[in-house]
Amino acid sequence: MIDQITSVVGKSIILALGGYFEFFTTHLGELTRLLIEHVRIAVFTLVIAVPLGVVLGTIVSVYERAASPILWAAGIMQTIPSIAFFGLLIPVFGIGTPSVVIALVLYSQLPIVRNTYIGLTQVNQAAVEAGRGLGMSRFERLRRVQLPMALPVIMAGVRNAVVLVIGIAAIGAFIGAGGLGDYLFQGIRERNVDMIVVTTIVLSALALAFDYGLGISARLLRARNGEDVRTTRVTRLLQQVIA
Amino acid sequence: MTTNTIEFDDVTKVYGDDMVAIEDVTYGVEKGTTTVLVGPSGCGKTTTMELVNRLEDPTEGTVYYEGTDIQELDRIQLRREIGYVIQEIGLFDHMTVGENVATVPELKGWDRDRINDRIDELLDLMDLPPTEYRDQYPRSLSGGQRQRVGIARALAGDPDVLLMDEPFGALDPITRETLQNEFLEIQEKINTTILFVTHSIDEALKMGDKIAIYDVGEVVQYGTPQEILESPANNFVEDFVGADRGLKRLQVTQVKELLAAPVKEAESGGRGVAVATDGNGSHELSPTDSAQVALSRMIQYDVETLPVTDDGRVVGEIEKSDIHQIARTEG
């Protein structure tokens, strides 16, 4: 009996895996195209979101009074369901990539602004005070002391934002932005489980790859800041390449 | 007034509405000397210092820098002319030792070669060999080494004035004493006007040419270490200096001050007499040793007199009774 069950389960697993693999190989070209589209949306978003978030976070760290309203607004953004957000933006920016990118930029502000603010305000105060006493203007202190010291914390915020953006970008397919979301929605419509599972795996792999890459760059930044970082083989390799 | 690099003229600083930090402070800091501001915590010594590089501005009165009211000077420019060392050191941990030292020269826009030469020169001066330390990060240094870098950074822009706020306060006693002694030597080489804040009277007596003793916002006595030990202005100073001021006077008196004419005589006498050592080697005194060292050696070797030598030549002799004399003369 038990043998029967295991053999049935085993067979169906093999069958399913075979199906996923077959789907993957036969749709490789289309999957690659959607993946590139997806990455493009994410990169567009980050090119706008990272500078915006860092600037906002910096302003907030200098003008403390702006801190709670801006962080509050960024927090509110995240509570709006993405579909509703896209719907609100369509009348203004139309169907397609622009609306999705704008929504994603707004979503990603909370982690970036918050981490920039925390990073800048938690920099060793003695170093900031020494910079003041040595004749650095406020801008010079920011550029030479606070921002470089806060960079690893800011990077952690960017990492959060990237994973968030890649996930939500999939829903952007609903309003015609393309990307891997196209296959997800198609798979749901056609009840094509192979399609859904394979696309999900690709999507997760993409998020993990971005996260891993940024994790390594964060570690490189810490090492450059003179911190004792436990280096993995990849980090050491990159360090050698950079050096 | 003209020889003073810094002049406090009737300066009062009030924080908020009624927190008086210092009141009617008036004294001058002579060019090329070290003035120590000493007193219990909260007495206004740090505030006085912060008025000099305009981290704070006076509520009343005027601070003069080289004869100019500092309110008329640009505060950023002023701070680049004034070195600044704080107890917390405040090194930039994301920069190497060399980059830390280069801070003010870079702000002043020196060219790269000059900056590099200056870094090496200062690291050498601070006993941190550039080849070894220049590219290290501050995190890998000991407390004493970090403060050496802090001092090198403060001196890098070739400042006319150096402000030091409890620079050795956070160090262990042994490191502190080493750094004090090293800094006394450096002080002779750099000829910078120094304002030094401490809460330790021993450190003040050791480091200062002049000492300003603070008691809750007021300067109660301003004078040389000898003057303060000989004639404390009031009970507060007497208590602050401590009951052992006879012994403290031995600390601030150098052996050469006890030698009268013989120094000249020996010098004119050419090579002088070679010193016979008994194998311990440290029997004789150097002219810069303190009277305290002289006395402790006399007790250690159980002798009444010790020779004083300079560069291997005997320049005089010192007797135990000379030393007793200093400790005894009470003001």
Instruction: Report ipTM for this prediction.
Output: 0.79
Residue A18's DSSP bridge partners are none
**Cβ contact A126–B78 (<8 Å):** no
How large is the C-alpha radius of gyration of chain B? 22
Q: Give A140→chain B minimum CA distance, Å.
A: 9
Of A127, A132, A224, the CB nearest to B55: A132
Q: Give the integer Cα–Cα distance in Å for B277 and B314.
A: 12
**Cβ contact B90–A124 (<8 Å):** yes
Which of A7-21, A103-117, B30-44 has the least mean pLDDT?
Answer: A7-21
**Cβ contact A228–B139 (<8 Å):** yes
List of residues 6+ apart from A23 with CB closer than 8 A: A194, A195, A198
Q: Give the integer Cα–Cα distance in Å for A34 and B47.
A: 65
The reported pLDDT for the residue numbered B215 is 92
H-helix or E-strand spanning residue A146: none
**Cβ contact A130–B78 (<8 Å):** no
Burial of B16 (0-12, 13-18, 19+ CB in 10 A): exposed
Q: Give the integer Cα–Cα distance in Å for A113 and A51.
A: 10
Question: 């009470």: which residue's tokens?
Answer: B330
The residue in chain B having the minimum alpha-carbon distance to the alpha carbon of residue A126 is B90
Q: Give the integer Cα–Cα distance in Å for A116 and A61.
A: 8
Q: Which domains can be identified in chain B, with CATH numbers?
A: 4-242 (3.40.50.300), 255-264+274-327 (3.10.580.10)
8 A C-beta contact, residue B122 and residue B144:
no
- Bridge-based pairing of strands B313-319 and B4-15 is unpaired
Q: Which domains can be identified in chain A, with CATH numbers?
A: 19-211 (1.10.3720.10)
Tell which residue, B214, B201, B190, B195, has the closest CA to residue B252: B201
Structure token pair of residue B2: 């003209």
Q: Mean pLDDT across the stretch A29-54?
A: 95
pTM attached to this predicted model: 0.79
The reported pLDDT for the residue numbered A243 is 63
Q: C-alpha dihedral over A36, A42, A47, A51, to 10 degrees? A: -160
The reported pLDDT for the residue numbered B269 is 41
Q: Give the integer Cα–Cα distance in Å for B13 and B20.
A: 6
Q: Answer whether B163 touches A (CB < 8 Å).
A: yes
8 A C-beta contact, residue B198 and residue B169:
yes
- Full pLDDT tens readout for chain B, 331 residues: 457 899 999 999 999 888 899 999 999 999 999 999 999 988 899 999 999 999 999 999 999 999 999 999 999 999 999 999 998 999 999 999 999 999 999 999 999 999 999 999 999 999 999 999 999 999 999 999 999 999 999 999 999 999 999 999 889 999 999 999 999 988 888 889 999 999 999 999 999 999 999 998 899 999 999 899 988 999 999 989 887 887 888 888 888 777 764 444 444 444 444 444 444 455 788 888 888 888 888 888 888 888 888 887 888 888 888 888 777 765 4
8 A C-beta contact, residue A210 and residue A161:
no
Q: Give the integer Cα–Cα distance in Å for B303 and B301.
A: 6
Q: Give the integer Cα–Cα distance in Å for A49 and B262.
A: 81
Q: CA distances (Å), B103 to each of A224, B118, B132, in order? A: 18, 11, 20
